[in-house]
Structure 1
Amino acid sequence: MAIRKSALKQAPARPELDRLLQQAREKGVTEEQLFQQRISFAYGNAPEGSGITKETATRAAGSMLMRGSR
């Protein structure tokens, strides 16, 4: 059997990545960014041949936002 390296080692220090992650946490996400993410998720996960377009995903995301904010 092959000898394998342990996967339970501590990850190497990455100060630049840690700084960027902290910066992202502090900045937050705007409502417009969430809206665009919702559209992208719906469009990107639509099955091929479903007829879902970016426009229909945008309309659906807009109507979900209106219903959720009442």
Structure 2
Amino acid sequence: MKWQLAEWANNWPQLPIYSADREQVASFAGQHLLFAAPTLLLFMEGKEVWRGSRFIDWDELNRVVHLFKTY
């Protein structure tokens, strides 16, 4: 999935993208209830606004980013 994320991120260069192994950052995984892998989280102003797990719906993620891009 990393290559898919990298390809998707090329369309959104203004978004900061971070990747982490949930086992290496267990406290973050616990705080955000990350049980499945992979999981993508989208934050806006420090709040989670979208979550995708296992099978990522890239079209849905694009719609959400477009929606928040107008704010």
Q: TM-score interval w.r.t. the shorter chain? A: under 0.3
TM-score (norm 1): 0.24
Structure with more of its chain in strand, by fraction: 2
Greater relative contact order (CA < 8 Å, ≥ 6 in sequence)? 1
TM-score (norm 2): 0.24
